[in-house]
Amino acid sequence: MEQKSPEKRTNFLSWITLACFILGAVTGLLWPRLFSCIGFIGTVYVNLLKLMALPIVLCTVFGAASRGVKNATGTLLKTVLLFIILFTVSFLLSGALYAILAPGKGFTLTSGEAWTGSAADLSLEGFLTAIFSSNIFASLGSGAMLPTILFAFFMGAVAGRVGANRVTEFVAELETIFSRMLSYILWLTPLGVFVLMGKCTADFGAQALGGAIRYVLYAWGGCVLILLLVMILPLWIFCRIDPITYFRKTGRVLLSAISTCSSAATLPETLRTCREEFDVPERVSGVAAPLGCTIHMCGGAVSFCLLAMFTMQMTGRPVAIGTFLLMLVFAEALNMAAPGIPGGGIVLGATFLGLLGMSDIGLFLGMYAGIYRLLDMAYTSLNVAGDVTAVLLIDRWEGRKQ
């Protein structure tokens, strides 16, 4: 009997995942009680992905740094610079879109529960303390991605300098083992996506039909615009990757991002997509992709911009050029500091509004917290798409022809 090639198996799994994505969304609306019983399966699936993410990141970043310290450092600096550029462009385009459409104008909230959480204490000291861990095992145990990346990069660079070939070979073998373990886990993707999407529509389907759908639609619309103009168009121009090819090769990673709402959980699939679908070498993907899922958040650019523009328009506050540039600076700072701030997007949103002097809208933040899962699906997908785009552009920047 003829065995399926790896490419055919990948395509088969992608189509099954898409079918389960749609089936889960429909089933969640029609039979929500089912997912109150089996919702834990989605949690287990996400936990398995996160379980593999950090070991794979540790090995891939170590390997990339150990095999070429100078090249890896250059790739790291180029990656950070490109992240800043993509975030800034995404924020500016989002600002232009929401200034024209004015989504918050005339919007009022007269009922609902106010958000009672607290904003994060944003400081340079707190950020640096969080990312430079005193215990790498504690960072691994807590799932802290950025401290792990920095430690692995430093360790790999030193290993390359001192010629620790046996250690490098051992880590390479570990990476092979982890990758094979991940390949087995990824066969659970259709089931995990089915349960996650079903639970999402079961929990939020009715709520999405309320007044908050206006905000949700503007968020998704902004993400689609940035995806087309900032993620896909540059690849078409500089890398000769057309939109159809892009979506065909990134389909699974985007479905995973929408379902899990976690860049960390999606990272193994992101690495697989960059290496297997786009043939990007590990020296680039092993540095850019892990770093991207921590400090590169173009979805955050849309999120912060919409949040500020919507609330300012809602409360009748003017958005002058100076104010908008201040919003961009604060958003970029929060975006870079996000790995050191606990609490997720809701806390970051409250912190951002507090920096802008808008901490008196607890009722709106209550609505924002209620629908954040629906927003996070769009923002995480854009973040992951941006990571893939950045990897491909860095690969092109490094001189490899597509």
What is residue 141's predicted lDDT score, i.e. its pLDDT? 78
What is residue 170's predicted lDDT score, i.e. its pLDDT? 94
**Does residue 174 form part of some domain?**
yes
How far apart CA 43 and CA 18 sit, in angstroms, is 19
- Digit-coded pLDDT (tens) for 78-115: 888 999 999 999 999 999 999 999 999 888 776 667 77
The stretch 128-153 carries a mean pLDDT of 80
The stretch 34-58 carries a mean pLDDT of 89
Q: How far is CA 158 from the centre of its chain?
A: 30
The stretch 374-398 carries a mean pLDDT of 92
Instruction: Quote the pTM value.
Output: 0.83
CA-to-CA separations, 131 to 150, 219, 305, 359, in angstroms, rounded: 8, 30, 26, 27
Contact of 56 with 178, CB cutoff 8 Å: yes
What is residue 383's predicted lDDT score, i.e. its pLDDT? 93
Say which residues have a Cβ less than 8 Å from residue 359's Cβ, sequence separation at least 6. 119, 350, 353
Provide the residue range defining the domain that includes 221: 6-397
**Does residue 119 form part of some domain?**
yes
How far apart CA 83 and CA 288 sit, in angstroms, is 10
Q: Percent of the chain, pLDDT > 70?
A: 88
What is residue 167's predicted lDDT score, i.e. its pLDDT? 92
**Does residue 99 form part of some domain?**
yes
**Does residue 402 form part of some domain?**
no
What is residue 119's predicted lDDT score, i.e. its pLDDT? 66
What is residue 239's predicted lDDT score, i.e. its pLDDT? 94
Look at residue 122 and tell me whether its pLDDT is greater than 80: no
What is residue 139's predicted lDDT score, i.e. its pLDDT? 80
56-43-220-215 Cα dihedral, nearest 10 degrees? -140
Q: Can you read off the two tokens belonging to residue 331? A: 């958003």
- If pLDDT is split at 50, 70 and 90, which confidence band does 20 have? very high
Look at residue 142 and tell me whether its pLDDT is greater than 80: no
**Does residue 43 form part of some domain?**
yes
Return the CATH number at 200: 1.10.3860.10
- If pLDDT is split at 50, 70 and 90, which confidence band does 379 have? very high
Look at residue 361 and tell me whether its pLDDT is greater than 80: no
- If pLDDT is split at 50, 70 and 90, which confidence band does 3 have? very low
What is residue 282's predicted lDDT score, i.e. its pLDDT? 83
- If pLDDT is split at 50, 70 and 90, which confidence band does 7 have? low
Say which residues have a Cβ less than 8 Å from residue 9's Cβ, sequence separation at least 6. none
What is residue 342's predicted lDDT score, i.e. its pLDDT? 46
For residue 324, give the amino acid letter: F
- When mean pLDDT is compared over 190-199, 233-242, 392-401, the highest value belongs to 233-242
Contact of 188 with 69, CB cutoff 8 Å: no
Mean of per-residue pLDDT scores for the chain: 85
Q: Name the domain count of the chain.
A: 1
What is residue 340's predicted lDDT score, i.e. its pLDDT? 46
- Among 28, 381, 34, 400, residue whose Cα is nearest residue 220: 381
The stretch 240-262 carries a mean pLDDT of 92
What is residue 207's predicted lDDT score, i.e. its pLDDT? 52
What is residue 96's predicted lDDT score, i.e. its pLDDT? 96
- If pLDDT is split at 50, 70 and 90, which confidence band does 296 have? confident
What is residue 97's predicted lDDT score, i.e. its pLDDT? 96
**Does residue 1 form part of some domain?**
no
